Amino acid sequence: MKKLIGGILGVVIGVFAIATLAGAAPADQVQPAAIIQYSEPVEITGTLTVSGAGYLSSVHIGSTEAGVGGVTYFNGTIVNASTDDDGESTVPVTFGDDVRIDGEIYRTEAGGDNPLKIGDSLRPTADATYSLGTSAFQFADVYLSGTLTAATVTADTVTYGSAQTRYWSIGASELIPGDEADTYSKGSGCLTSTDDVFTAPVNLPQGATVTNLTTNYTDTDAVNDFSVNLIRSSNGTDETMATATTSGSTAGWQTAEDATIIGAAVDNSAYSYRLQNTAMNAGATHSLCAIEVIYTVTSSLP
């Protein structure tokens, strides 16, 4: 009799527990009152939906066999909620293997105002194999700081962040006399003469800006000075752009310069350019050696 009463009581308690559970939640949901701890593998053959936060130390999605597996859907943002020793949420999400992306990579929205940030050097996996952009899909602008080292750079224009200084120079011995009958002497790139007119063409890149004309000379004549002019000509009309003139009598090699340039922008389509000296006198009192034209460019020029 005691066994019969105990069995009936167990059935009643079980039915009451089931009824209580059914009354606390809809028929298709299970809502435990406490955390469930289960130490055995769980196989889910359907769809697992988690509406709240879920914390799993390790998750295997798909199969460990190559090429076997489905698609994993995430709607929202993946973050690493852990914090560093200072309590800051600076611990990044880490992928411990190669990552294949079949779609676009962008921040916030494609083509938006938030650029994609790269916090490290960008390096291809193979040397001299891959390109940055293609002939059909080109980058609009590239901003670089430092030295550009590459086999080939294809661009409509390469613009420098700041004007770059360039130099064009010629030895005075390369100047051509206006009259072959005049007396002059050349040696070691230098020139002495009684002739007032020696000239040489100047070849500067289109679009350059002339900033200085400099000469290297000796002048021991206390009375007479001489000069070198940078001249541009158009349709038979000369215009002096700069004049570097000696001053007084000084022993040894000296430098004369002129940084006040007229018509500094080089326009080879409208002008020709030349050097021309004036007022050199006889003997070794006047000697002209190196002549240098300094200019700047803001883009890559041939």
Q: Do β-strands 272-278 and 227-234 pair in parallel, antiparallel, or remain unpaired? A: antiparallel
pLDDT in tens, 148-195: 777 677 777 788 888 999 999 999 999 888 777 667 788 888 888 776
The CA-to-CA distance between both ends of the chain, in Å, stands at: 112
Residue 7 pLDDT greater than 50, yes or no:
no
Q: What is the pLDDT of residue 225?
A: 86
pTM: 0.61
Of 18-22, 178-182, 231-235, give the range with the top mean pLDDT. Answer: 231-235
Instruction: Give phi and psi for 54, each to the nearest 5.
Output: -125, 135
Q: What is the mean pLDDT of the chain?
A: 81
Q: What is the pLDDT of residue 196?
A: 65
- Among the four given CATH numbers 2.60.120.260, 2.60.40.290, 3.40.50.720, 3.30.420.130, the one describing domain 163-299: 2.60.120.260
Q: What is the pLDDT of residue 14?
A: 47
Give the residue extent of every domain in the chain: 163-299
Choice among 61-70, 125-134, 237-246 with the minimum mean pLDDT: 61-70
More confident site: 64 or 215: 215
pLDDT in tens, 259-301: 999 999 999 999 999 999 887 765 557 888 999 999 999 987 6
- Cβ distance 275 to 232 under 8 Å? no
Distance, in Å, from the CA atom of 89 to the CA atom of 217, rounded to the nearest integer, reads: 69
Token duo for residue 206: 């289109």
Q: What is the pLDDT of residue 27?
A: 58
Q: What is the pLDDT of residue 143?
A: 82
**pLDDT band at residue 26 using 50, 70 and 90 as cut-offs:** low
Q: What is the pLDDT of residue 155?
A: 78
pLDDT in tens, 87-117: 888 888 888 899 988 888 988 888 888 888 8
